[in-house]
Amino acid sequence: MVEKNPFILCLQERKLVVCDDYLRNSLWGDLSHAFSYRPSVGASGGILIMWDTLEVEVWSSVSRDHMLQIQGHFVRRNEEFYLFNIYAPCDPREKQVLSASLSLRLQA
Protein backbone atom coordinates (compact mmCIF):
# COMPACT_ATOMS: atom_id res chain seq x y z
CA MET A 1 0.00 0.00 0.00
CA VAL A 2 1.37 3.42 -0.98
CA GLU A 3 1.14 6.05 1.73
CA LYS A 4 -0.15 9.46 0.66
CA ASN A 5 0.50 12.57 2.70
CA PRO A 6 -1.55 15.73 2.20
CA PHE A 7 0.08 19.11 1.60
CA ILE A 8 -2.90 21.00 3.04
CA LEU A 9 -5.55 20.00 5.57
CA CYS A 10 -8.76 21.98 6.19
CA LEU A 11 -10.91 21.31 9.24
CA GLN A 12 -14.18 22.86 10.40
CA GLU A 13 -16.18 22.71 13.61
CA ARG A 14 -13.00 22.47 15.67
CA LYS A 15 -14.79 24.20 18.57
CA LEU A 16 -11.45 25.50 19.81
CA VAL A 17 -10.85 29.00 21.09
CA VAL A 18 -7.08 28.47 20.94
CA CYS A 19 -4.95 26.48 18.53
CA ASP A 20 -1.27 26.07 19.33
CA ASP A 21 1.87 24.10 18.45
CA TYR A 22 0.84 21.27 20.80
CA LEU A 23 -2.37 20.69 18.82
CA ARG A 24 -0.51 21.00 15.51
CA ASN A 25 2.06 18.43 16.64
CA SER A 26 -0.62 16.05 17.89
CA LEU A 27 -2.37 16.19 14.49
CA TRP A 28 0.71 16.17 12.21
CA GLY A 29 3.53 14.95 14.42
CA ASP A 30 6.08 16.81 12.31
CA LEU A 31 7.58 20.24 12.82
CA SER A 32 7.62 21.01 9.08
CA HIS A 33 3.99 22.09 9.25
CA ALA A 34 2.35 25.43 9.96
CA PHE A 35 -1.23 26.49 10.57
CA SER A 36 -3.75 29.28 10.62
CA TYR A 37 -7.04 29.19 12.47
CA ARG A 38 -10.20 31.09 13.26
CA PRO A 39 -11.44 30.44 16.79
CA SER A 40 -14.90 29.15 17.58
CA VAL A 41 -17.61 31.51 18.78
CA GLY A 42 -19.48 29.91 21.64
CA ALA A 43 -20.32 26.30 20.85
CA SER A 44 -20.04 26.58 17.08
CA GLY A 45 -17.46 27.15 14.42
CA GLY A 46 -13.74 27.05 14.57
CA ILE A 47 -11.78 26.72 11.32
CA LEU A 48 -8.27 25.32 10.95
CA ILE A 49 -5.95 25.13 7.92
CA MET A 50 -2.64 23.26 8.26
CA TRP A 51 0.03 22.88 5.59
CA ASP A 52 3.35 21.15 4.99
CA THR A 53 5.95 23.94 4.89
CA LEU A 54 8.27 21.84 2.73
CA GLU A 55 5.62 21.69 -0.01
CA VAL A 56 3.57 24.87 0.50
CA GLU A 57 4.67 28.45 1.15
CA VAL A 58 1.88 30.63 2.55
CA TRP A 59 2.24 34.37 1.94
CA SER A 60 -0.86 35.56 3.75
CA SER A 61 -3.69 34.36 5.94
CA VAL A 62 -6.96 36.27 6.32
CA SER A 63 -9.60 35.54 8.94
CA ARG A 64 -13.12 36.92 8.48
CA ASP A 65 -16.57 35.98 9.72
CA HIS A 66 -17.25 32.36 8.69
CA MET A 67 -14.07 32.16 6.58
CA LEU A 68 -10.34 31.54 6.71
CA GLN A 69 -8.31 32.23 3.57
CA ILE A 70 -4.69 31.53 2.74
CA GLN A 71 -2.67 32.59 -0.28
CA GLY A 72 0.61 31.08 -1.34
CA HIS A 73 2.26 28.74 -3.78
CA PHE A 74 3.22 25.11 -4.16
CA VAL A 75 7.01 25.08 -3.80
CA ARG A 76 7.92 22.34 -6.30
CA ARG A 77 5.54 23.49 -9.04
CA ASN A 78 5.80 27.21 -8.31
CA GLU A 79 2.02 27.47 -8.79
CA GLU A 80 0.15 30.18 -6.91
CA PHE A 81 -3.14 29.42 -5.15
CA TYR A 82 -5.88 30.88 -2.98
CA LEU A 83 -7.69 28.58 -0.57
CA PHE A 84 -10.93 29.45 1.24
CA ASN A 85 -12.08 27.31 4.18
CA ILE A 86 -15.68 28.33 4.84
CA TYR A 87 -17.99 27.52 7.71
CA ALA A 88 -21.30 28.91 6.47
CA PRO A 89 -23.86 30.33 8.88
CA CYS A 90 -27.34 28.82 9.18
CA ASP A 91 -29.19 32.14 8.96
CA PRO A 92 -30.29 32.86 5.34
CA ARG A 93 -29.44 36.58 5.57
CA GLU A 94 -25.98 35.84 6.96
CA LYS A 95 -25.45 33.34 4.11
CA GLN A 96 -26.26 36.08 1.58
CA VAL A 97 -23.79 38.45 3.25
CA LEU A 98 -21.11 35.74 3.18
CA SER A 99 -21.84 34.95 -0.46
CA ALA A 100 -21.59 38.62 -1.46
CA SER A 101 -18.33 38.99 0.48
CA LEU A 102 -16.83 35.92 -1.22
CA SER A 103 -17.91 37.16 -4.65
CA LEU A 104 -16.12 40.46 -4.06
CA ARG A 105 -12.95 38.70 -2.87
CA LEU A 106 -12.93 36.36 -5.86
CA GLN A 107 -13.35 39.23 -8.33
CA ALA A 108 -10.51 41.28 -6.79
In whole angstroms, give the CA distance from residue 16 to residue 103. Answer: 28
What distance in Å separates the CA atoms of residue 8 and residue 17, rounded to the nearest whole number?
21
Element (H or E) spanning 98, and its range?
helix 92-107
Q: What average pLDDT does the structure give for the chain?
A: 82
Nearest one of 107, 62, 65 to 83, comparing CA atoms: 62
| Domains by residue range for the chain, with CATH | 8-107 (3.60.10.10)
The confidence score (pLDDT) of residue 75 equals: 95
3-state secondary structure 21-49: HHHHHHHHCCCCEEEEEEEEECCEEEEEE
- How high is the pLDDT of residue 1? 66
pLDDT of residue 58: 97
Over residues 77-99, mean pLDDT = 88
Give the model confidence (pLDDT) of 2-40 as tens digits.
677 788 988 887 666 666 667 666 767 766 888 888 887
pLDDT score recorded for residue 32: 84
